[in-house]
Amino acid sequence: MTGRRDVDPAAAIRAKAGAESAAVLRELLPPGTRCALVDFPHHANVGDSAIWLGERALLRELDVDLAYVCDRHTFAEADLARCLPTGAIVLHGGGNLGDLWPHHQRLRERVVRAFPRHRIVQLPQSVHFDDPRNLARAREVFDAHPDLTLLLRDARSLRLARDAFAARSVLVPDSVFALPDLPAAGTPHRRLLWLARTDHEAAPHSEPSPDGTVHRTDWNAGEGGGPDWPEQLCSARRTIRAAADTLRRAPSDRSAEALADAFDAHARLHLRRGCRLLGSAGAVVTDRLHAHLLCLLLGIPHTVLDDRNGKISSYRDTWRHRHEWPWTRLAPTPHRALRHAAAQADGLRQEM
């Protein structure tokens, strides 16, 4: 069994995936390209914060010039057009291309529709549409744009995108693998952590009654931040509001980078909280893709359950053989997952 201190396989995965991502993006965003980065994830999902920080690392590696940045609340077409008369618009990646998270999809379609003369690059996404009418609307918007590239992070999403849209579609690993480093996971003080989705992407698993050795929670519960967490989060939000106001009043590359830095600080707080939470247990059970990927990178023993739409299994099936992932199990039920994680935690204690 691989203990949490054996991180060499994770380093190899990170190097391979990061190089693949950079190679694709370098073709689309040559050095010196002026660009906007749209849809900062201003919420508590640690996975989206990790993706954002990976994206920022990739863009720094590519040596592009950031002229505009926003979340969905601060986005304004006039501001983006003023800051970036020409150049490339880069859309934040994740798992919201489709109708699972309509606010983000509406922003995406609004940007694509409003800026037909800009190159638009959608960073790695998973794709899922429940309603054919929403897919038809997205197709109409996407197909009307002459220079749109969709990066997809799993083979199933790639097939869906190529079947549905005329835009160029390319398979690229999730941007979390571009993270240059991760916060320390810390020392486990509980036996098992069950990080379970509590949103509409959760699968309808029948849930066992865990005993007192299992701590169940989700990213959105805000655990892992430490005693100063509320004050730190409030401070980060104040900094974001002030920087967004400055960019709106006095647009410049400097004010855009200042807002990006404020977004980064917010994302780092959530990523640190998430890594502490994952590291709090001897082993983890999760149906969240980025809890799985962060455990992989941190060397934390874990077992995964699929979410409602098969996002985790699709990503694993796409990449694990190519990147020689350390062994982790996709369990069919929570009961089996908890049983396997318990064996992992017991094995880790014996190794230590």
Q: pLDDT tens digits, residue range 68-113?
A: 999 999 999 999 999 999 999 999 999 999 999 999 999 999 999 9
The end-to-end CA distance of the chain, in Å, is 12
Contact in structure between 345 and 281 (CB atoms under 8 Å)? yes
Give me the residue spans of the domains in the chain. 13-178
Q: Decide if pLDDT at 185 tops 90.
A: no
Question: What would the two tokens of residue 57 be?
Answer: 């690392």
Q: pLDDT tens digits, residue range 214-254?
A: 999 999 888 888 889 999 999 999 999 999 999 999 999 99
DSSP string, 312-346: HHHHHHHHTTTTTPPP-EE-SSHHHHHHHHHHHHH
Contact in structure between 322 and 297 (CB atoms under 8 Å)? no
Closest to 40 measured CA to CA, from 128, 107, 110: 107
How far is 82 from 124, CA to CA, in rounded Å?
Answer: 27
Rg (CA), the chain: 20
- What pTM did the predictor assign? 0.94
How far is 224 from 273, CA to CA, in rounded Å?
Answer: 5
At the top level of CATH, the class of 13-178 is alpha beta
Q: pLDDT tens digits, residue range 258-282?
A: 999 999 999 999 999 999 999 999 9
